[in-house]
Amino acid sequence: MRPWNEVKIIDCKEPLVSLPSSIHCLNPHPYLSLGAPYGEGVDPWRLRIDVVRRLLIAQEYLFSDHSNLKFAVFDAWRPIPVQSFMVHYTIEQECRQRGINPELKENLSQLNDVMKLVNKYWAQPSLDPCTPPPHSTGAAIDLTLADVNGLPIDMGGPIDAIGAISEPNYYAQYGAQPSSSLYDTRRKLLLKVMSKAGFVQHPHEWWHYSFGDQLWAWTNCVSQAIYGAWDEDNKSMIA
């Protein structure tokens, strides 16, 4: 449970819509490429209507000050099965990097440490309507800054990195290399334009922003969220 999961959800029943061509999406889709189960013919590049509207506004704010930059969207709506797939994939990758065999009982303590760390960055694939993963609501988006050709610029750490480098203010607080100031400036620019359009940033991920979900309501001290999990099969919200 995260603190914002205590926020009540009253879904406004606003549908998902595809991102317009003026918003650059990184293709091939990173999770589809891994085999994530979106379902045949399902468009992952979708968000709630007002979230898309605000994203376009944020990009205009970016253009007005930095005409050489634009957004590059990494991920948008994410159904629960995909959330589950990616949580397990991330745990497996982290175990592999640490040389941990999760099948061995003697590694249980280390496996628990990995799972605890991954849980800091990845929401559990909960089917409980009171605790939906942010991306399953169509309210959250993962994005970065890119040049005019759509090539992402260096933000000091890749999207989905597990560890302190993903903290939004990492380079302001702990960065020691000469490029720290540059990375901090770029992250702050993304935060500035997204915040101006009404989005809130995930406390542990420089790339994750949302509007209308529980995190957004909790951050802004709003009594209720307006977006719950979207059930693609029924074309409606999970009740």
d(CA 41, CA 61): 33
167 catalytic? Reply is no
CB 118 within 8 Å of CB 87: yes
Cα distances from 113 to residues 88, 94, 96, 225, in angstroms, run 14, 10, 14, 31
Catalytic one of 14, 94, 167, 205: 205
Q: How far apart are CA 174 and CA 125, in angstroms?
A: 32
Measured between alpha carbons, how far is 114 from 122 in angstroms, rounded to an integer? Answer: 12
With H, G, I as helix, E, B as strand and everything else as coil, classify residue 48.
strand
CA 229 to chain centre: 15
Contacts for 55 with CB less than 8 Å, ≥ 6 apart: 19, 23, 47, 71, 141, 197
Contact 47, 134 (CB under 8 A): no
Report the catalytic residues: 205
